Structure 1
């Protein structure tokens, strides 16, 4: 069993056994048929993934790594808020007739800010500090900009990354770690998707800054399983598991903005069957 499978199974069991049901409460999300989408939820779930040991793709089912990477590049590299720049259709429900999701996600990362060192957007600032101030405790991004929330078609779920550089006692090479803060996480539809995305992001930043990759810490304020997902989750966590796949990233890419989806692979990826037709609450 991979470490990611173990973490996922333990988290799901904890939510199902010890979580709080929102059934009958005032909730925002609805299913396509108009009925309210209730959940079982846990507050303050924290999962740690040591990326130096394995890549945390689930083997219980296949995580679509190419689509994951396409979306993280859309947000962090293209800094786009338009679904026409994205190859998947996961954002279609939140886009307007022009394809825009409003002032959300990539839009916020593209906004230039004045720093003492000059004008930079948030991604440029992260890379600048990792290269010039690696032991800074201020290397972070934030997508949850209150003044722009009314112009976002969906408030950011994964809204903040905090980067922190450490060093192993037996090596001079610096290690890049990150904390992903998430206000809300749909465990079936999005949990491992987000984990894989931000693991790839850490690998990318580590490579372009000359670091080794370390830990991804995933902090979830509201970790929930939707009512219609419960039987799917129960079946999923009883499946056989396999060893974690091997992550490959093109070692020749040294510029963050030159990465392409084709520069990443999961090798020897054994996994269970796909979970088909997951209902998504909006």
Structure 2
């Protein structure tokens, strides 16, 4: 059975049984009808996924892996902050009349900084360091720029990806691992979406760096289930679990900027029915 299912069920059960509630407190999110959106939450959740064992897609319901990849390409490859450059409509609610979400996400990745050896944006710097200095402990992207927060339509949720290379015994190629730091997460709407996004990003970066994709470690400061999501979560985690799908990339792609969603290969994805019309707190 999918280990991602086990991790998801254990995390949700822990939140429901041992979490604290924000009910009655002053909270920013609200439902479309204006009602405050309260949560049950756990602080400091850490989940580990080993991509050498399986791809971490849950099978309780389907995660749209091509759409996950498209959004991660939108941020880290196209370096866009405009929803017109994204095929799904998940960001439309935060876009202005031009389609911009402000100085967020892809805008931050594309900002160029000066280094002793030249000028690079965040993603180009990651790719360069993995080629030339892979055992550096400074290889990361960070989307949380305090001076730009007032011009972001939504503060970044998953904001810090730290890359770390290990040389495993008996392996001819190094292994690339990632630590993803997330300040806040709507567990029902976004947990496996974010996990799969960054697993795909790790796979892409590892492939173009001639490395094996290893562990994705996901740190969530505030992992929460919204009050109106509780019955949905309870039904979801009671479902049968299946074997994880086989997910790979077109091995012919060696340039990060040449990947498209057509290069994602998904096989044998057996899953439960989709959960539709999930209410989203805003």
TM-score, normalisation: structure 2: 0.99
Structure-1 separation of matches of 2:266 and 2:21: 36
Structure-2 separation of matches of 1:148 and 1:253: 34
Once the two structures are superposed, the pairs formed by residues 227-238 of structure 1 within 5 Å of their partners are 227-238=227-238
Aligned: 1:108 with 2:108:
yes
Once the two structures are superposed, the pairs formed by residues 249-268 of structure 1 within 5 Å of their partners are 249-268=249-268
Aligned residues: 282
Structure-2 separation of matches of 1:262 and 1:240: 30
Matched with 2:130 is: 130
Matched with 2:203 is: 203
| Structure 1 residue 265: Cα displacement | 2.2
Secondary structure at the residue paired with 1:130?
helix
Structure-2 separation of matches of 1:167 and 1:271: 35
Structure-2 separation of matches of 1:62 and 1:261: 17
Superposed CA RMSD: 0.5
Matched with 2:243 is: 243
Matched with 1:45 is: 45
Matched with 2:220 is: 220
Secondary structure at the residue paired with 2:229?
helix
Once the two structures are superposed, the pairs formed by residues 17-166 of structure 1 within 5 Å of their partners are 17-166=17-166
Structure-1 separation of matches of 2:56 and 2:161: 18
1:94-147 deviations in whole A, cap 9, x for unaligned? 000000000000000000000111000000000000010010000011100000
TM-score, normalisation: structure 1: 0.99
Secondary structure at the residue paired with 1:254?
coil
1:7-47 deviations in whole A, cap 9, x for unaligned? 00000000000001000101000111111100000000000
Structure-1 separation of matches of 2:269 and 2:257: 27
Matched with 2:173 is: 173
Aligned: 1:193 with 2:193:
yes
Structure-2 separation of matches of 1:50 and 1:4: 10
Structure-1 separation of matches of 2:89 and 2:31: 18
Structure-2 separation of matches of 1:53 and 1:125: 29
In structure 1, stretches of 5+ residues that fail to align are none
Matched with 1:278 is: 278
Structure-1 separation of matches of 2:260 and 2:141: 22
Structure-2 separation of matches of 1:31 and 1:44: 25
| Structure 1 residue 167: Cα displacement | 1.2
| Structure 1 residue 172: Cα displacement | 2.9
Structure-2 separation of matches of 1:94 and 1:9: 30
Structure-1 separation of matches of 2:203 and 2:70: 15
Structure-2 separation of matches of 1:85 and 1:146: 25
In structure 2, stretches of 5+ residues that fail to align are none
